């Protein structure tokens, strides 16, 4: 006769692990949606990964994925989670202790990430704990019902072939009692049916948790509060009307005012903070004679200024997209600081976002007379959530990482020696004035040009110094002065154009800007760290014959 032997199937083990992982994600998101969104295990781990990643990794993510860097990060986390879950499922199919150990490690990582979030409480641990418990139950149930692959083993001894009762084989079972079949207490078809049933229940749990968490999170969003907000009229309007000729309207040239939907976004938030204006407050403290705390209604009742300011990210490479110009409405940040009466020696405004991000701004820059704002609106509408609703900082002339805190809730007067902000801790300069730079928007070099009169156009910027001239060079020839568009002030970028008589062949076009202090953009190429990229923008074009 033959003996039967069961062997777990790796495919079913991997599927069990994936389903258990999906349950953990769905349940974790559902529970997190009832409290703090960033307490979700996946989001907490993602935020921790951003904080722990070396500057070179962050630079690579921004330069490679741009505004989709958060999507790329989450995709990577989900991919690693899926591989990890499948792996512990395969191991658990052979020995359940391996699976339980893997789940414990997963829970420990989630707890550590959630527990170290800015402002985290004991409640931040709840989503991970419940997700880990649900995942453990799911995995154990699935592992118990994995259909086995049955394999016949040839008999090793001849006596098994002897007839019953001859003394060489097993005694026949008593009448009416079935023979014992090893590992067949449950028929294979019933085991497979049970596994599929549990799998379907696990998949449903994951889907309901994920969708339910998303619905609850959207209900907790501040979309309605933003839509209901009525902005007061500004007391000072430096943006009433743009001067004629501020937008050259050349096809392919970026508009003077960047629409909200096209304005660059670079920050550390995976989940956008949802800050209700009714609960928003700003505290100003530290090295001050008088601590101040204002709410959003107080802010709106202060004198408001509306002005155009161009913002630039320090991660913007030469010819990069991380720059935009908008019309901002806000209260004077300098007035707020002065009301707190800074003490002698305070040289840094350390601002903190509701998600814990910190930014260090020089006090003297904010107080030197420029339009440094605590902004509440962008291009005539309340701030978009992704750009800092309900309030953010806007300081002309400084890269965003030292001036443009979104979702700001705390300002501390301190010194650069005493405290170091988020990006400065990661190797970037503590103080970073925007460099004099330019960009070529047209032509792009992607299409062959026709011979003849061709516009070469772009933008140039040197916020709070202003652009005085732009020159264009073709094939190392003489520098040609471009025509400049009008501008409302020195805190915005400036469009420019030079018309070239294009000739057949391949040509290299370069540009350089000169600001109103007389400084001309350098040709020396440097990367973005530690305080912004330099070099001439250039484009190679092909002109047909």
Instruction: Please write the tens of the pLDDT for every residue from 157-176.
Output: 344 444 454 444 455 555 54
Tell me what percent of the residues of the chain surpass a pLDDT of 90. Answer: 61
Task: Please tell me the distance from the alpha carbon of residue 242 to that of residue 326, in angstroms, as a whole number.
Answer: 12
Give the pLDDT confidence score for residue 187 in this predicted structure.
54
pLDDT at 503 exceeding the cut of 60:
yes
Which residue ranges make up each domain of the chain?
3-150+187-219, 236-426, 437-543
Predicted confidence band of residue 77 (pLDDT cuts 50, 70, 90): confident
Q: Are 447 and 502 in contact (CB under 8 A)?
A: no
**In the predicted model, what is the mean pLDDT of the chain?**
87
Q: What is the DSSP letter of 175?
A: T
Beta carbons within 8 Å of 469's beta carbon, 6+ residues apart = 481, 482, 484, 513, 514
pLDDT at 5 exceeding the cut of 50:
no
Task: Please tell me the distance from the alpha carbon of residue 320 to that of residue 516, in angstroms, as a whole number.
Answer: 23
List the structure tokens of 85. 């879950």
Task: Please tell me the distance from the alpha carbon of residue 498 to that of residue 487, in angstroms, as a whole number.
Answer: 18
Beta carbons within 8 Å of 11's beta carbon, 6+ residues apart = none
Give the pLDDT confidence score for residue 303 in this predicted structure.
96
Q: What is the DSSP letter of 433?
A: B
Q: Is 295 left (phi over 0), alpha (psi -120 to 50) or beta?
A: beta
Give the pLDDT confidence score for residue 181 in this predicted structure.
38
Task: Please tell me the distance from the alpha carbon of residue 300 to that of residue 404, in angstroms, as a whole number.
Answer: 19
pLDDT at 59 exceeding the cut of 80:
no
Q: Which residue has the tokens 């996946």?
A: 42
Give the pLDDT confidence score for residue 238 in this predicted structure.
64
Q: Using CB atoms within 10 Å of the CB of residue 348, give its burial: 0 to 12 exposed, 13 to 18 middle, 19+ buried.
A: buried
pLDDT digits (tens, 9 = 90+) for 399-412: 999 999 999 999 99
Task: Please tell me the distance from the alpha carbon of residue 236 to that of residue 298, in angstroms, as a whole number.
Answer: 18
Q: Are 506 and 474 in contact (CB under 8 A)?
A: no
Give the pLDDT confidence score for residue 159 in this predicted structure.
45
List, as one string, the DSSP characters of 121-190: -GGGGHHHHHHHHHHHHHHHHHHHTPPEEEEEE--S-GGGGSPTTSSSSPPPPPTT-PPP-TT-SS-HHH
pLDDT at 433 exceeding the cut of 90:
yes
Give the pLDDT confidence score for residue 183 in this predicted structure.
41
- Provide the β-strand partners of residue 240: none
Tell me what percent of the residues of the chain surpass a pLDDT of 70. Answer: 87
Task: Please tell me the distance from the alpha carbon of residue 37 to that of residue 273, in angstroms, as a whole number.
Answer: 8
What CATH number has the domain spanning 236-426? 3.90.420.10
Q: Does this chain's domain 236-426 share its CATH topology with 437-543?
A: no
SS3 at position 75 = helix
Task: Please tell me the distance from the alpha carbon of residue 223 to that of residue 215, in angstroms, as a whole number.
Answer: 13
Task: Please tell me the distance from the alpha carbon of residue 122 to that of residue 132, in angstroms, as a whole number.
Answer: 16
Q: Are 113 and 48 in contact (CB under 8 A)?
A: yes
Range in 213-217, 269-273, 323-327, 497-501 the model is least confident about: 213-217
Give the pLDDT confidence score for residue 78 in this predicted structure.
85
Give the pLDDT confidence score for residue 219 in this predicted structure.
64
Task: Please tell me the distance from the alpha carbon of residue 320 to that of residue 317, in angstroms, as a whole number.
Answer: 5
pLDDT at 144 exceeding the cut of 90:
no
Beta carbons within 8 Å of 364's beta carbon, 6+ residues apart = 347
How crowded is the C-beta side of 262, counted as CA atoms within 13 Å? 11
Q: Domain 437-543, what fold?
A: Immunoglobulin-like (2.60.40)
Question: Between the CA of residue 37 and those of 117, 323, 353, what are the distances in Å?
Answer: 11, 29, 16
pLDDT at 236 exceeding the cut of 90:
no
Strands 304-312 and 236-237: parallel
The answer, as to whether pTM is greater than 0.85, is no
Give the pLDDT confidence score for residue 152 in this predicted structure.
40
Q: Using CB atoms within 10 Å of the CB of residue 367, give its burial: 0 to 12 exposed, 13 to 18 middle, 19+ buried.
A: middle
Predicted confidence band of residue 416 (pLDDT cuts 50, 70, 90): very high
- Provide the β-strand partners of residue 358: 352
Strands 467-474 and 480-481: antiparallel
Task: Please tell me the distance from the alpha carbon of residue 89 to that of residue 392, in angstroms, as a whole number.
Answer: 46
Give the pLDDT confidence score for residue 404 in this predicted structure.
97
Beta carbons within 8 Å of 196's beta carbon, 6+ residues apart = none
Among candidate residues 483, 544, 485, 479, the one with its CA nearest the CA of residue 509: 479
Task: Please tell me the distance from the alpha carbon of residue 281 to that of residue 297, in angstroms, as a whole number.
Answer: 9
Range in 5-9, 220-224, 310-314, 446-450 the model is least confident about: 5-9
How crowded is the C-beta side of 337, counted as CA atoms within 13 Å? 29
pLDDT at 26 exceeding the cut of 70:
yes
Task: Please tell me the distance from the alpha carbon of residue 43 to that of residue 531, in angstroms, as a whole number.
Answer: 29
pLDDT digits (tens, 9 = 90+) for 508-525: 999 999 999 999 999 999
pLDDT at 155 exceeding the cut of 50:
no
Q: Are 366 and 334 in contact (CB under 8 A)?
A: yes
pLDDT at 156 exceeding the cut of 60:
no
Predicted confidence band of residue 188 (pLDDT cuts 50, 70, 90): low
Task: Please tell me the distance from the alpha carbon of residue 447 to that of residue 458, in angstroms, as a whole number.
Answer: 17
Give the pLDDT confidence score for residue 218 in this predicted structure.
62
More confident of the two residues 289 and 198: 289
Alpha helices for 341-428 (secondary structure H): 363-366
Give the pLDDT confidence score for residue 178 in this predicted structure.
44
Give the pLDDT confidence score for residue 517 in this predicted structure.
97
pLDDT at 47 exceeding the cut of 50:
yes
List the structure tokens of 150. 């049955």
Beta carbons within 8 Å of 252's beta carbon, 6+ residues apart = 441, 442, 443, 444, 457
Count of other CB atoms within 10 angstroms of residue 212: 16
SS3 at position 65 = helix
- Phi (first) and psi of residue 161, to 5 degrees: -85, -5
Among candidate residues 270, 266, 274, 184, the one with its CA nearest the CA of residue 226: 274
Give the pLDDT confidence score for residue 177 in this predicted structure.
45
Give the pLDDT confidence score for residue 67 in this predicted structure.
66
More confident of the two residues 210 and 260: 260
Residues in the chain: 545
């Amino acid at each position: 006769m033959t003996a039967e032997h069961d062997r777990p199937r790796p495919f079913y083990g991997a599927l069990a692990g994936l389903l258990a992982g999906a349950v953990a994600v769905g349940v974790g998101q559902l529970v997190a949606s009832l409290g703090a969104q960033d307490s979700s295990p996946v989001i907490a781990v993602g935020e921790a990964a951003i904080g722990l990643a070396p500057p070179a990794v962050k630079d690579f993510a921004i330069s490679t994925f741009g505004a989709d860097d958060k999507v790329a990060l989450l995709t990577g986390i989900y991919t690693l989670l899926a591989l990890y879950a499948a792996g512990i499922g395969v191991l658990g199919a052979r020995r359940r202790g391996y699976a339980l150990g893997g789940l414990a490690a997963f829970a420990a990582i989630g707890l550590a990430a959630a527990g170290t979030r800015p402002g985290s409480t004991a409640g931040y641990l709840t989503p991970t704990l419940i997700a880990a418990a649900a995942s453990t139950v799911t995995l154990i149930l699935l592992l118990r019902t994995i259909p086995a692959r049955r394999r016949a083993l040839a008999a090793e001894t001849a006596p098994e072939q002897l007839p019953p009762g001859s003394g060489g084989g097993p005694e026949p079972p008593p009448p009416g009692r079935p023979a014992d079949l090893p590992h067949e207490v449950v028929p294979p078809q019933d085991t497979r049916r049970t596994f599929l049933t549990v799998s379907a229940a696990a998949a449903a749990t994951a889907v309901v948790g994920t969708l339910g968490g998303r619905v609850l999170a959207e209900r907790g969003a501040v979309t309605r509060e933003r839509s209901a907000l009525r902005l007061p009229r500004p007391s000072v309007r430096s943006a009433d009307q743009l001067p004629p000729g501020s937008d050259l309207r050349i096809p392919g040239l970026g508009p003077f005012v960047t629409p909200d939907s096209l304005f660059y976004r670079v920050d550390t938030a995976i989940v956008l903070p949802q800050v209700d204006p009714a609960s928003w407050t700003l505290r100003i403290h530290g090295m001050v004679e008088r601590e101040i705390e204002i709410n959003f209604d107080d802010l709106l009742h202060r004198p408001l200024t509306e002005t155009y300011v161009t913002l630039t990210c320090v991660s913007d490479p030469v010819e990069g997209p991380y720059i935009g110009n908008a019309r901002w409405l806000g209260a004077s940040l300098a007035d707020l600081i002065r009301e707190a009466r800074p003490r002698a020696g305070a040289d840094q405004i350390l601002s903190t976002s509701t998600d814990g991000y910190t930014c260090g701004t020089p006090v003297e820059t904010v107080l030197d007379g420029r339009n440094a704002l605590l902004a509440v609106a962008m291009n005539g509408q309340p701030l978009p959530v992704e750009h800092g609703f309900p309030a953010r900082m806007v300081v002309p002339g400084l890269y965003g990482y030292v001036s443009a805190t979104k979702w700001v809730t705390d300002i501390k007067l301190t010194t650069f020696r005493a405290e170091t902000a988020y990006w400065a801790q990661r190797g970037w300069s503590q103080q970073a004035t925007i460099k004099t730079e330019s960009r070529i928007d047209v032509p792009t070099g992607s299409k062959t040009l026709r011979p003849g009169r061709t516009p070469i156009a772009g933008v140039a910027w040197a916020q709070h110094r202003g652009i005085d001239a732009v020159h264009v060079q073709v094939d190392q020839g003489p520098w040609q002065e471009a025509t400049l568009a009008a501008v409302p002030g020195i805190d915005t970028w400036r469009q420019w154009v030079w018309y070239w008589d294009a000739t057949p062949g391949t040509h290299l076009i370069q540009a350089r800007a000169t600001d109103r202090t007389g400084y001309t953009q350098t040709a020396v190429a440097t990367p973005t760290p530690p305080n912004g990229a330099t070099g001439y923008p250039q484009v190679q074009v092909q002109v047909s014959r």
